[in-house]
Amino acid sequence: MAKASAIANANIALVKYWGKRNKELMLPQTGSISMTTEGLNAHTTVEFDPKYREDILILNGKEYGKGDEEYDDYVGLFLKVVREKYPEKAKDLKVKIVSNNNFPTAAGLASSAAGFAALAAAVNEALKLGLREKELSMLARRGSGSATRSIHAGFVEWHRGENEDGSDCYAEQLFPPEHWPEFRLVIAVTTKKDKKVKSRAGMSQSVANSPYYKAWRDDVIPKHIETIRKALGEKDFKALGEAAETNALMMHAVAIATTPPVIYWNAGTMDIVHAVMDWRDQGLECYFTIDGGPQVKVLCLEKDSKEIAKRIRGFPNIEDIIITRPGQGVKITKEHLF
């Protein structure tokens, strides 16, 4: 039976990925570093079977197919890659995919990362492709760039690679979750609504015309990759937090300077950004990072996470608060969704 299920966690970038050098192969302009979260997951079941006449995609209870962006621009493209790469296994078979996230989709909580990591792993298992972690990270990349990092547990680096065919572009673990179990992200969800500009479109425009893109790619990223790798290795929270926060601000500076502008922040985002800087001045150790959406992720250590969550709860524009820690990589599960 060509049916399998997988669970993958979202990841949050400490050094952001913002821009591709090859859109078809999903090759990034730069490397990036992330933390795989615990408990913010996508659970996905796939079944390849001749009984299906068309691909069926059900995301969080809603059905999508040809003509819908979710299928045409994302899952359908990914399936095309799978069918081209493994024609003997998948070319003539349609698939049913059911996937559920346990956190807000498309609002800067890396739902596509968790979703495509789970989908790649489930497809690998169902079709018996025999891909190991490195190859699996390369397959997940074809669905969504950041998904390449969600294959692995803990702290993860996605290598830009040099080859035009993407053969050296993959993610690998830097440190397992046990390396820094006290590390926490307190996520302030400032809205659960879908974002207006998808990361894919936003970053593509930034590469095309942001006047700051070259500095981001050539100066900022190489420096931050070195700093964050070292800070993670030494568990130097201050060095890590400072670099991660600056990196996020610089990514958003690149995005905001794009034409048309890509602005992900809302009033709630700004409240928490200012608060984190104030709290830090008062001696509470915390930093923030923000992705392609309005949520603020506050970096802190376990000892301060409850106090930070309590303070965030006091703001008017907060819809939810999630505390997460370094988590597991993708796993196959026997629990099928249909």
Is 292 among the residues that bind ligand PMV (CB under 6 A)? yes
Question: Which span sits near ligand PMV by CB under 6 A: 10-18, 36-44, 89-97, 317-325?
Answer: 10-18
8 A C-beta contact, residue 225 and residue 31: yes
Is 112 among the residues that bind ligand PMV (CB under 6 A)? yes
How many positions of this chain bind ligand PMV (CB under 6 A)? 14
8 A C-beta contact, residue 7 and residue 43: yes
For the CB of residue 311, give the shortest distance to ligand PMV in the complex, in Å: 25
Q: How many C-beta atoms surround the C-beta of residue 85 within 10 A?
A: 12
Contact residue for ligand PMV among 55, 245, 271, 291 (CB under 6 A)? 291
* Site map (CB under 6 A) of ligand PMV, residues 23-62, x = contact: ---------x------------------------------
Q: Within positions 91 to 110, which residues make up the interface with ligand PMV, using CB under 6 A?
A: 110
8 A C-beta contact, residue 312 and residue 187: no
Q: Within positions 295 to 334, which residues make up the interface with ligand PMV, using CB under 6 A?
A: none
Type of residue numbered 11? N
DSSP code per residue over 182-202: TEEEEEEE---SPPSS-HHHH
Report the greatest alpha carbon distance in the chain. Answer: 63
For the CB of residue 189, give the shortest distance to ligand PMV in the complex, in Å: 15
Contact residue for ligand PMV among 7, 10, 13, 90 (CB under 6 A)? 13
Structure tokens at 129: 């492709």
Is the Cβ of residue 23 or residue 313 nearer to ligand PMV in the bound state?
Answer: 23
Is the Cβ of residue 192 or residue 336 nearer to ligand PMV in the bound state?
Answer: 192
Question: Which span sits near ligand PMV by CB under 6 A: 49-57, 77-85, 143-151, 321-329?
Answer: 143-151
Is 160 among the residues that bind ligand PMV (CB under 6 A)? no
User: What one-character DSSP code corresponds to residue 128?
Assistant: T
Is the Cβ of residue 90 or residue 112 nearer to ligand PMV in the bound state?
Answer: 112
Task: Give the three-class secondary structure for 180.
Answer: coil
For the CB of residue 17, give the shortest distance to ligand PMV in the complex, in Å: 3
What does each C-alpha distance from 42 to 9, 10, 149, 187 come to in angstroms? 6, 8, 14, 17
The four Cα atoms 193, 199, 201, 206 give a dihedral, to 10 degrees, of 130
The burial of 307, by beta-carbon neighbours within 10 Å (0-12 exposed, 13-18 middle, 19 or more buried), is given as: middle
- Cα–Cα dist 35/15, whole Å: 10
Tokens 């930034």 label which residue? 206
8 A C-beta contact, residue 307 and residue 336: no
Contact residue for ligand PMV among 199, 305, 324, 328 (CB under 6 A)? 199
Contact residue for ligand PMV among 7, 9, 16, 213 (CB under 6 A)? 16
For the CB of residue 252, give the shortest distance to ligand PMV in the complex, in Å: 9
Contact residue for ligand PMV among 30, 36, 45, 146 (CB under 6 A)? 146
Binding site for ligand PMV (CB under 6 A): 13, 16-17, 32, 110, 112-113, 144-146, 199-200, 291-292
